[in-house]
Amino acid sequence: KFDPNDTTHRFLTQRQCPSLARVVATLVGKDKLTLVYNQTTIELPLEPPSSPKQSYRAGIWDDQVTVDDLGDKAAAFFQRI
């Protein structure tokens, strides 16, 4: 039985993936975030799109939150880490 509150994904922390500590984050204006890792840069919106590609329920420690998929470009950036 499907429960919309069940988590389908888990957050990954620096404890599990220490190389996340090497990501440099910089605010760009009031609405964007630039991430840099090993000379690869991506710019992401601080607010999710009004119509995200997909939303998921994700678990982080004992909490459950709704997260939005920011697309293939963001996924490719984090897969390199």
52 pLDDT band, cuts 50/70/90, is confident
Q: pLDDT tens across 5-45, in order?
A: 677 788 888 999 999 999 999 999 999 999 999 999 999 98
The DSSP code sequence of 22-50 is G-EEEEETTTEEEEEETTEEEEEESSPPS
